[in-house]
Amino acid sequence: MAEVNTDGGGGGGKHDKKRAKKASTKIDMTPMVDLAFLLLTFFVLTSTFSKPKTMEINFPAKPEDKKDETKVNNALTFLMTKDDGIYYYYGEFYIAGNAKGVPPTQLIKTNYSATGLHKLLLDKNKPTNDAIKSLEDRLKKREIVDTTYKRLVNKEKGTKEALTVLVKADEKAIYKNVIDLIDELNICNIGKYAIVDMGAKELELLNVANQK
Amino acid sequence: MAKIKMPKGNPSLDMTPMVDLAFLLVTFFMLTASSRVSEPVVVDTPSSISDKLLPENVMLISIDEKGRAFYNINNSDVRQQTLEKMGEQYKINFTDKEKKRFAGMTSFGVPIAQLKEYINMDDPHRMLVKSAGIPHDSLHNELGDWIQFGRVEAAKQAKVQKEKAESLGREFKYEPLRFAIKADSKTNYIAVKDIITVFTDKDIYRFNLITDLEQGEVKK
């Protein structure tokens, strides 16, 4: 920085005693602060705090023979299609005019809202949800410990009576739909679910339903 | 009129506490920050309630809106060795310099034939390249090879590290390689399924689907 010369012209300075200049003990910290804040800004802007969250999922191994697809007792099948459309049916799939004489499967339309999918899943999975609820109460009353609770919940989700959900998506369904559905299944304590391919007959039925 | 006497104070103030604080923050950010990596595509992931964190040792396949696949593997040594193996497989000779550069890159989505050129680009140019995605149809299943080699090399790397740790008498914590899929919300599910089929063909059935944490009210 420029300094103002205060010597006053320098007249008669010859005989002055040479005095040691009293240097200030303070250093100018401004550049250091500048640098510090520059670095600070840089790190604030470039850093990411949150690591991405993930959802763990197991896909079924390729079935050895394709015949056992529909042999599920307590199954709810979801069919997803374009424009966030979602249909479901309960139990086995029956084509029209089957040998057993059972009326053909009807697809029921639903949606991703709290009154649609959420309510449906809670209703269908009521026994499991009730069991988990009672376990939760016991946990709150400190009758069981945390690890036991988790083990029991998993056991409850895996019982034979618990609802099984099959997720099937056609070519026009988007990834978000699938994730939303799986998320909803997790919320509703459904432990048994699988993402599987859609059968040709189901696709036909879905296309008919779509055109309505 | 009485003159108001201004106190003859020193106009410079003591900046020490501020500097202390600034450096404290700088140190904090330097230590906690994992720098944001620039990816060749923007992938807007769907949201879920899952709050599990992504594991460290991970192979990441990003799928963009149009269904193009991008490959990334976190460990840079493994990346380099995977490239070597891919070069052998497809008879492309990568120089040591190219391998080094590749090790420091993030995810990419070009066919192996264009990879050499892609590696040799400057960073700003590389960001502008329109990636075609890694081919993964049944005829040119490059993605399958990337997955396979990446997996083998990651296992080798883990083995080397284990031996090293054991020779030093330390305990080795093995973290298996996980397979993460990061797909855009608007991607057709069929495109995601194609990628998953590539994995299941290699007998990999367990995935980490990357999602955002759901915002808003909790459904009860």
Domain coordinates in residue numbering, chain B: 47-213
Number of Cβ within a 10 Å radius of residue B102 = 21
Give the domain CATH number at A92.
3.30.420.270
One domain for residues A73 and A118: yes
Alpha helix (H) residue ranges in chain A: 30-46, 119-124, 126-140, 146-157, 175-187, 200-211
Task: Tell me what pLDDT residue A99 has.
Answer: 66
One domain for residues A85 and A155: no
Q: A131 near A152, Cβ under 8 Å?
A: no
One domain for residues A140 and A197: no
In a domain, A156, yes or no: yes
- Whole-angstrom Cα distance, residue A77 to residue A202? 10
What residues of chain B, 56 to 85, have a C-beta less than 8 Å from chain A? 63
Q: B54 near B180, Cβ under 8 Å?
A: yes
Residue A150 tokens, joined = 């988790």
User: Which of B19, B47, B187 has the CB atom closest to A29's CB atom?
Assistant: B19
Alpha helix (H) residue ranges in chain B: 16-32, 76-90, 96-103, 112-120, 123-128, 142-167, 189-201
**Contacts across the A-B interface (CB distance below 8 Å):** 155
Residue of B nearest to A40 (CA): B26
One domain for residues A110 and A80: yes
Contacts of A185 in chain B (CB under 8 A): none
In a domain, A167, yes or no: yes
In a domain, A89, yes or no: yes
**Cβ contacts of residue B129 below 8 Å, gap of 6+?**
B40, B110, B118, B121
* pTM, two decimal places: 0.72
* Partner-chain contact A36 B208, CB within 8 Å: no
- ipTM confidence: 0.71
Residue A152 tokens, joined = 């029991």
- Whole-angstrom Cα distance, residue A155 to residue A83? 37
In a domain, A35, yes or no: no
Q: Which domain holds residue A77?
A: 69-123+163-211
Question: Does the beta carbon of A145 lie under 8 angstroms from any beta carbon of chain B?
Answer: no
Question: Does the beta carbon of B197 lie under 8 angstroms from any beta carbon of chain A?
Answer: no
In a domain, A15, yes or no: no
In a domain, A3, yes or no: no
The tens digit of pLDDT for each residue in A54-110 reads 888 888 776 655 544 445 667 788 888 878 778 888 777 776 666 666 677 777 777
Task: Tell me what pLDDT residue A184 has.
Answer: 83
One domain for residues A80 and A155: no
Residue-level pLDDT, tens digit, chain A, 212 residues:
444 444 444 444 445 556 677 777 777 778 888 888 888 888 888 776 666 778 888 887 766 555 444 456 677 888 888 787 788 887 777 766 666 666 777 777 777 777 777 888 788 777 778 888 888 888 888 777 778 878 887 877 777 777 788 888 888 888 888 888 888 888 888 877 888 777 777 777 777 777 76
Question: Does the beta carbon of B18 lie under 8 angstroms from any beta carbon of chain A?
Answer: yes
User: Which residue, among B183, B182, B166, has the nearest Cα to B174 in the 3D structure?
Assistant: B166
Q: B73 near B156, Cβ under 8 Å?
A: no
Q: B200 near A59, Cβ under 8 Å?
A: yes
- Mutation site for B-interface testing, chosen from A1, A54, A80 by largest number of B Cβ within 10 Å: A54
In a domain, A7, yes or no: no
Residue-level pLDDT, tens digit, chain B, 220 residues:
567 777 677 776 777 888 888 888 888 888 877 656 667 777 777 887 877 777 878 888 888 888 888 888 888 888 888 888 888 888 888 888 888 888 877 788 888 888 888 888 877 777 777 777 888 887 778 888 888 888 888 888 888 888 888 888 887 777 788 888 888 888 888 888 888 888 888 888 888 888 877 765 444 3
Domain count, chain A: 2
In a domain, A172, yes or no: yes
User: Which residue, among A107, A112, A128, has the nearest Cα to A192 in the 3D structure?
Assistant: A128
* Partner-chain contact A47 B36, CB within 8 Å: yes
Q: A162 near A156, Cβ under 8 Å?
A: yes
One domain for residues A80 and A116: yes
